[in-house]
């Protein structure tokens, strides 16, 4: 494949890197985060250039619908009849012109034309030049047609696929859908979960602020810190020493809702890379046992590395399909069982924007079926009086509320349990997002706190 970098092959700057990554995402269905990390490591850009490449990749994927709408009025046969690398180059140039005011328009055009020339095709360089200059001359914003339906308007204005917007409008209403779609285009917060076995929040906040990271307490989790201007937190002081983990604030609520006590036995059925297993162990005070299972052999080491980094001894790992766990572990033997299920990830679109373009209604249906089967199997491992927590990082009702209602219908010995720790409920209630009456299941949406969209249900076995 011609990658648009000319004969030398190696990308020469942030825009080259962005073109390379966007091509991989589009043509090979690569994950943007992984492809970007690989490309940044290979290109050895300065920190500001790496930041620009990152912004171009995420921004261009996020705003794809809006960008394509504007370019379809400018380029014949857009997008299908345009060569992939030219498509990607024009898209990221449009993104800069419209949303990155810090880059002067003439620099955007010059860089794009240079990349097109390096590819060795003066005709395409002329096309790129003409399209971008035309946009600058006539105005960058392409006005939307009058009298669009709400679904079409939100889809174009906030760049989400129509089928998804239509689903969200019927599940959550027009206003909430628009707020969610807008929030999905915002850059995600970096956030850290303090390891109480090695540090505390005040100490870590002070250390981060001293190191130039703009850190503040999370309003959602008492263990959480929101870190702006942090770069990659893996490189921050204290990470290697296990004083904190990197985790989204919504995700930090799951182990808190499970609320394990010292000495308990806990099973995490789908555990890799170990974010929630290690959190559960922290809440046990490292006294008790967390059995952290995942289906993939290669992910076992990730869980072990996290536990070792955090100085945790109570996490044991296991590799099995969660469907087989009831055949391999004693029945009704765990005080707490967590199923953090494989899901569509529609709550983490800000972090992985390609998700909105890659998923289909069929994916949601088959995931919902898988989640139901997993839940139905692993429930037999919960002790009488024990707790079963189900969580996902999606906002599709068929993967969340509907999975739980079906499970509860089929398993009458379980009931939803609203007995959540007050520290979890209080901020959600204060912000007006706690359902009334609260039954024990909660859907957090991305616009509520600027954190990931997450679903959490706490259930109790009564027999």
Ligand X SMILES: C[S@@+](CC[C@H](N)C(=O)[O-])C[C@H]1O[C@@H](n2cnc3c(N)ncnc32)[C@H](O)[C@@H]1O
Structure tokens at 211: 């190191």
Residue number, 197 or 323, with CB nearest to ligand X: 323
- Cα of first residue to Cα of last residue in the chain, in angstroms, is 61
Q: Is 459 helix (H, G, I), strand (E, B) or coil?
A: strand
Per the rule left: phi > 0, alpha: psi between -120 and 50, beta: everything else, 152 is alpha
The annotation status of 335 as a binding-site residue, yes or no, is: no
Q: How far is the CB of 150 from ligand X (least distance, A)?
A: 32
For residue 21, the tally of other CB atoms under 10 A from its CB is 30
- What one-character-per-residue DSSP string does 190-251 give? EEEEE-TTT--HHHHHHHHHHTT-EEEE-SS-TTEEEEES---GGGSTTTTTTSEEE--TTT
Residue number, 30 or 295, with CB nearest to ligand X: 295
Q: How far is the CB of 6 from ligand X (least distance, A)?
A: 39
Residue number, 296 or 328, with CB nearest to ligand X: 296
The annotation status of 275 as a binding-site residue, yes or no, is: yes
Q: Which of 181, 269, 343, 393 is catalytic?
A: 393
Q: How far is the CB of 147 from ligand X (least distance, A)?
A: 41
The annotation status of 228 as a binding-site residue, yes or no, is: no
- What one-character-per-residue DSSP string does 234-272 give? GGSTTTTTTSEEE--TTTHHHHHHH---TT-EEEESS-T
Residues near ligand X (CB under 6 A), total: 17
Nearest to 451 by CA among 327, 347, 369: 347
The annotation status of 342 as a binding-site residue, yes or no, is: no
Nearest to 337 by CA among 441, 193, 457: 457
- Residues of span 87-126 touching ligand X by CB under 6 A: none
Phi, psi angle pair for 259, to nearest 5°: 50, 55
The annotation status of 272 as a binding-site residue, yes or no, is: yes
Q: How far is the CB of 294 from ligand X (least distance, A)?
A: 5
Q: Is 291 helix (H, G, I), strand (E, B) or coil?
A: strand
Distance CA 70, CA 159 (A): 12
- Residues of span 263-302 touching ligand X by CB under 6 A: 269-276, 294-296, 299
Residue number, 56 or 290, with CB nearest to ligand X: 290
Find the binder of ligand X among 68, 178, 286, 340 (CB under 6 A): 340
Q: Mark whether 393 is an active-site residue.
A: yes
C-alpha to C-alpha distances, 300 to 270, 297, 303, 395, nearest whole angstrom? 11, 6, 5, 28
Using CB under 6 A as the binding rule, whether residue 453 contacts ligand X is answered as: no
x/- mask, ligand X, residues 33-72, rule CB under 6 A, reads: ----------------------------------------
Using CB under 6 A as the binding rule, whether residue 256 contacts ligand X is answered as: no
Beta-carbon contacts of 416 under 8 Å, excluding residues fewer than 6 positions away, are 404, 408, 439, 440, 441, 457, 458, 459
The annotation status of 51 as a binding-site residue, yes or no, is: no
Residue number, 15 or 276, with CB nearest to ligand X: 276
Dihedral (C-alpha) 251, 253, 257, 260: value to the nearest 10 degrees?
Answer: 80
Residue number, 68 or 294, with CB nearest to ligand X: 294
The annotation status of 340 as a binding-site residue, yes or no, is: yes
Q: How far is the CB of 117 from ligand X (least distance, A)?
A: 44
The annotation status of 320 as a binding-site residue, yes or no, is: no
Q: How far is the CB of 275 from ligand X (least distance, A)?
A: 3
Residue number, 166 or 295, with CB nearest to ligand X: 295
Q: How far is the CB of 279 from ligand X (least distance, A)?
A: 8
C-alpha to C-alpha distances, 95 to 5, 48, 145, 221, 409, nearest whole angstrom? 20, 18, 21, 35, 48
Distance CA 86, CA 94 (A): 12
Quote the DSSP letter at residue 189: P
The annotation status of 294 as a binding-site residue, yes or no, is: yes
Find the binder of ligand X among 84, 187, 285, 342 (CB under 6 A): 342
Using CB under 6 A as the binding rule, whether residue 322 contacts ligand X is answered as: yes
Active site residues: 393
Q: Which residues sit in the known binding site?
A: 270-276, 294, 321, 340
Q: Which residues sit in the known binding site for S-adenosyl-L-methionine?
A: 270-276, 294, 321, 340
Q: Which residues are at the interface with ligand X (CB under 6 A)?
A: 269-276, 294-296, 299, 321-323, 340, 342
């Amino acid at each position: 494949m011609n990658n648009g970098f000319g004969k030398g092959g190696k990308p020469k700057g942030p825009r080259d890197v962005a073109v390379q990554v966007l091509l991989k995402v589009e043509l090979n269905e690569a994950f943007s985060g992984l492809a970007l990390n690989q490309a940044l490591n290979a290109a050895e850009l300065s920190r500001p250039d790496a930041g620009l490449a990152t912004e171009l990749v995420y921004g261009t994927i996020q705003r794809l619908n809006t960008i394509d709408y504007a370019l379809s009025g400018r380029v014949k046969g857009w997008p299908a009849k345009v060569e992939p690398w030219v498509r990607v180059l024009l898209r990221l140039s449009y993104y800069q012109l419209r949303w990155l005011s810090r880059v002067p328009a003439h620099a955007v055009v010059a860089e794009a034309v240079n990349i097109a020339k390096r590819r060795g095709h003066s005709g395409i360089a002329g096309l790129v030049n003409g399209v971008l200059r035309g946009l600058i001359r006539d105005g960058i914003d392409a006005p939307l047609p009058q009298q669009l339906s709400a679904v079409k308007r939100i889809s174009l204005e906030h760049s989400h696929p129509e089928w998804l917007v239509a689903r969200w409008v019927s599940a959550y209403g027009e206003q909430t859908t628009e707020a969610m779609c807008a929030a999905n285009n915002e850059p995600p917060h970096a956030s850290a979960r303090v390891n109480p076995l090695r540090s505390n929040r005040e100490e870590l906040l002070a250390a981060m602020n001293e190191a130039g990271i703009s850190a503040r307490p999370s309003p959602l989790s008492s263990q959480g810190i929101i870190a702006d201007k942090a770069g990659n937190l893996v490189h921050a002081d204290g990470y290697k020493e296990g004083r904190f983990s990197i985790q989204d604030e919504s995700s930090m609520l799951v182990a808190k809702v499970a609320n394990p006590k010292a000495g308990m036995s806990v099973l995490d059925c789908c555990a890799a890379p170990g974010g929630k297993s290690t959190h559960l162990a922290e809440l046990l005070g490292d006294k008790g046992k967390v059995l952290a299972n995942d289906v993939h052999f290669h992910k076992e080491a990730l869980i072990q590395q996290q536990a070792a980094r955090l100085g945790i001894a109570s996490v044991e790992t296991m590799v099995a399909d969660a469907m087989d766990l009831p055949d391999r572990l004693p029945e009704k033997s765990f005080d707490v069982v967590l199923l953090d299920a494989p899901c569509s990830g529609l709550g983490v679109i800000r972090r992985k924007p390609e998700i909105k373009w890659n998923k289909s209604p069929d994916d949601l249906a088959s995931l919902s079926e898988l989640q139901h089967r997993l839940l139905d199997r692993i429930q037999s491992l919960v002790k009488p009086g024990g707790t079963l927590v189900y969580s996902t990082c999606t906002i599709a009702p068929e993967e969340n509320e509907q999975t739980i209602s079906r499970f509860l219908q089929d398993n009458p010995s379980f009931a939803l349990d609203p007995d959540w720790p007050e520290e979890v409920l209080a901020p959600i209630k204060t912000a007006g997002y706690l359902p009334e009456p609260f039954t024990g299941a909660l859907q957090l949406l991305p616009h509520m706190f600027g954190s990931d969209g997450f679903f959490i249900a706490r259930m109790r076995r009564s027999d």
